[in-house]
Amino acid sequence: MSSPAAASGGLADPLLAASIDDGDVVVSAKDRYWVPSDEKEILARQDCAAGTPPLLYRTFRVKGFLINLYRLLTLIRVVLVILFFTWRMDHQDSDSMWLWWISVVGDLWFGVTWLLNQVTKLKPRKCAPKLSKLREQFDLSDGISDLPILDVFINTVDPVDEPMIYTMNSILSILATDYPAEKYATYFSDDGGSLVHYEGLLETAKFAALWVPFCRKHCVEPRAPESYFGRNVQPYTGNAAGDFLDDHRRIRAEYDEFKACLDGLSTVIEERSNARNSANTKQGHVNATWMTDGTQWQGTWIEPAKGHKKGHHPAILQVMLNQPSNDPQLGKPASSDHPLDFSAVDVRLPTLVYIAREKRPGYDHQKKAGAMNVQLRVSALLSNAPFIINFDGDHYINNSQAFRAAMCFMLDPRDGDDTAFVQFPQRFDDVDPTDRYCNHNRMFFDATLLGLNGLQGPSFVGTGCMFRRVALYGADPPKWRPDDAKAKVLQRPNIFGKSTAFINSMPAAGNQERSIASPATLQETAATSAELADVMTCAYEDCTEWGNDVGWVYNIATEDVVTGFRLHRNGWRSTYYAMEPDAFRGTAPINLTERLYQILRWSGGSLEMFFSRFCPLLAGRRLRPMQRIAYINMTTYPVSTFFLVMYYLFPVLWLVHGQFYIQRPFQTFALFVAVIIATVELIGMVEIRWAGLTLLDCIRNEQFYIIGTTGVYPMALLHILLRSLGLKGVSFKLTAKKLTGGKRERLAELYDVQWVPLLAPTVVVIAVNVAAIGAAAGKAIAGRWSAAQVAGASTGLVFNVWMLLLLYPFALGIMGRWSKRPYILFALLAAAVAAVASVYAALAGSVLYFHS
């Protein structure tokens, strides 16, 4: 049998060829520098006896010539750095020796941290799931599936900061994904206890009865309606082309009505509540928020009252969609009451559960991590799936095969049992075309995480990640687990709290062949209502290990990275996979201030982790050496700002001295620095080749690193200093997602200027470098410098120009709408330099005239 590769005369892309041979999703041609690395395993598996489970994913490595060039350039730069330090120690000559020593220590720090970052990327690894093999093994011919059950967690807090249309689109994409409906349950956590979210979820469940069968009938992608209807027409891949246009038109009309309903929910609830409150003439009545059935809402009210406000309300749990039957259920044919023909479509919907945990004054509710730990306990009492995948409220499933792809890594017979989580990259819609503020962060997701994939695995980055439930419970991976591990867990129930039902559910959590409880069991929640109410209370976690060694970690801003580290520290591994089309997509802050606050939260949390009990230096032998190095670099990078700020402000000395050199002879020093920087850039060029990135991705990464070091990282250092003194530290602002009606309106956020103190340090650095260039020009004019003097000064001024280029996105950001015309920025900078030069030359001339 000839392969597609043979028919086309051979494929240049080995990864593409391997993917086609396995009958799976086609991989992008950008992977042409990758070749299979598991041929021996594949051949050995084929020689095994019948009944041996097949391998469910392929592994790939970078072609030898490219990765060896990458390693060679890394070695060359290490040698250059060593020669540079040797030369500097032999030439201790500077206009200020104390600044010279600071620069030497800073250069040593930069060299070490660069090396720590680089060595973790010397053996990158890419994986590709074999979806056809997964179907052959788990999807039976009678329509029944043996795939493991899965719990899906989605979290939101405020319908204003996180617009409900995004959140409900995420729910719809989850309900419509290509995974057996009876095999997964979705748990929606409303951490604000809002009736708007509750009724919005009810409306979403109703619309899903149309949307989900439509997606299955016509195989549409993506399965979030807002994104689907907003994209250009795609080739039809379904089996009912004749019905598509009519179905599409009717579903679009239904979706518009659904959106209008969501938009008006707040007004409807307020009017309903006002009417009922006005009709209540009893003395001492309160202005409650009312549900449609005439009962008072148990969560937060429109007019806050005791027991019904943010931070103080009882727990609420409601099963919105019950567990479907195990057998496919075909829909109805088209009729006057039901215009869509679903007679050949399975119309079952997965389980959907609404959760609002209890909140009371005096308790630290631990934000997102606390909410997810409640989801973990509630889901254990209902569906208790061995696998869990989590989403932020603004992320939706962009590729309906994502759940199946992750399962390939979890169920692979080689190392699936030792895999704690599978991390997908974060991708975003509506980011400006040039990605001004590096929202996509592709150097991290498409290069750094591929490097970690060749070690113990990527870190957890907050959303779009599938977990193994028992790993979150703190269990050891099979290769580190003693025979009596289960008994030890049961002998120490206080670790997990006092819920007997929850503790009894733990042994079954590792059973991958178990089904979700029957529909009748889920409906009879009265039998477990006391247990459910108990695990949702604030006091449940008192004197337990929740938030520490169990569940998601507390008290650190980057709870995602720390949780992933804890799993790696216990000996688990993880896998990174970037599929095409993207598995998940979401929204990102394209406003400069919001983006800087996001980076502040990440950098501050990284330092918190390093100075906590989760410091990578304190981990045991189960954390592999290179993985430890990766986490050390991941948690200490903000320290670089201490030395970089010194460099940024060195140009000030040009304003008060005739000439100032941090190292003499300066020409040799500048040559060393230029060559070392050039090797870094050359290494970066090779890296973007094997990572499939662009030069713009690399430039944006460098630019925003410098922007971060000027203003954000110093604030992170201040935060950790205050925390070490027992003070509160810096308050980390959560990123808000703004609702917009289209791309033009969405990009309008790019031009909003929100002046906050966080912007000031970077503005100062820009001003200092502009002033230094102007001062040097003024000195050249007033002092009538020789060509040699001009050449010497120009060498130093290259640094100032380079800094301004790196800070270019920030300068555009603070210009607001004027940044639509970048030439205005260049004109302003040129005018500022000319003004400083003129003033400096005039002052210097006046001084000379006075002395004469």
358: Cβ–Cβ under 8 A, 6 or more apart, which residues?
A: 313, 314, 315, 536, 537, 538
Q: Which residues pair with 346 in a beta bridge?
A: 330
Structure tokens at 588: 């990102």
The secondary structure element, H or E, covering residue 465 is strand 465-468
Structure tokens at 164: 């409900």
| Cα dihedral 647, 652, 658, 664 in deg (nearest 10) | -10
Q: Which of 401, 385, 357 lies closest to 185 in space, CA to CA?
A: 385
Q: Which amino acid is at 9?
A: G
Q: What is the C-alpha separation between 216 and 138, in angstroms, rounded?
A: 19
Q: Which residues pair with 575 in a beta bridge?
A: 422
**What value does the CA radius of gyration of the chain take, rounded to a whole number of Å?**
30
560 as an active site residue: the answer is: yes
Q: Which of 137, 152, 178 lies closest to 405 in space, CA to CA?
A: 178
Structure tokens at 57: 């994913």
DSSP labels, 568-586: HHTT-EEEE---SS-SEEB
Burial 826-847 (b: 16+ CB within 10 A, else e): eeebeebbeebbeebbeebeee
Q: Where are the beta strands (DSSP E) in 272-418?
A: 316-321, 351-356, 387-392, 396-397
Q: Where are the beta strands (DSSP E) in 674-759?
A: none
Determine the 3-state secondary structure of 175 from DSSP. Answer: helix
Q: Which of 56, 25, 382 lies closest to 178 in space, CA to CA?
A: 25
Q: Which residues pair with 485 in a beta bridge?
A: none
Contact 181, 350 (CB under 8 A): yes
Active-site hit among 158, 392, 418, 560: 560
Calculate the CA 678 to chain-centre distance: 31
The secondary structure element, H or E, covering residue 59 is strand 57-62
Active-site hit among 22, 24, 190, 191: 191
191 as an active site residue: the answer is: yes
Catalytic machinery residues: 191, 560
